[in-house]
Amino acid sequence: MTEKRNLPKSFFWGNSVSSMQTEGAWNEDGKGLSVYDVRPATENTTDWHVAIDEYHRYDEDLDLMKDMNMNMYRIQISWSRVCPDGDGEFNEKGIEFYDRLVNAMLKRGIEPMICLYHFDMPLNLAKKYNGFMSRHVVDAFVRFGKKMIDHFSDRVKYWIVFNEHNLYFQDEVFNISGYENGDKTLDDMYTIFHHTMVSHIRLANYIHENYDDVKIGGMLAYQQIYPETSKPEDIWAAKQVQEFLNFNIYDADTGKGYSPEVLKYAENHNIKMDITDEDREIMKKAKADFLAFSYYSSWVLSSDKIPEGEAPNRYLNEGGVDAKYVKTNDWGWAVDPLGFRNAITTMYNHYRIPVFPIENGIGLKETWDGEHMIEDDERIAYHRDHIKAMKDSIFLDGAEVLGYLGWGLIDIPSSHADIEKRYGAVFVNRTNHDLKDLKRVPKKSFYWFQKVLKDNGDEL
Q: Tell me phi and psi for residue 331, to 5 degrees.
A: -110, 15
Q: Which one is catalytic: 228, 243, 359, 366?
A: 359
Instruction: With CA atoms as reference, report the closest residue to 316 among 230, 238, 262, 219.
Output: 238
The answer to whether residue 359 is catalytic is yes
* Whether 171 contacts 317, CB under 8 Å: yes
Distance CA 341, CA 245 (A): 18
Instruction: With CA atoms as reference, report the closest residue to 69 among 459, 460, 448.
Output: 448
Instruction: With CA atoms as reference, report the closest residue to 78 among 127, 21, 135.
Output: 21
Distance CA 367, CA 225 (A): 33
Q: Which one is catalytic: 164, 228, 243, 420?
A: 164
* Whether 329 contacts 364, CB under 8 Å: yes
- Helix, strand, coil distribution of the chain in percent, nearest 5: 40, 15, 45
Start-end of H helices in 211-298:
232-242, 248-253, 260-268, 277-284
The answer to whether residue 164 is catalytic is yes
* Whether 220 contacts 168, CB under 8 Å: no
Instruction: With CA atoms as reference, report the closest residue to 409 among 354, 360, 350, 458.
Output: 360
Give the residue numbers annotated as catalytic, written as ranges: 164, 359
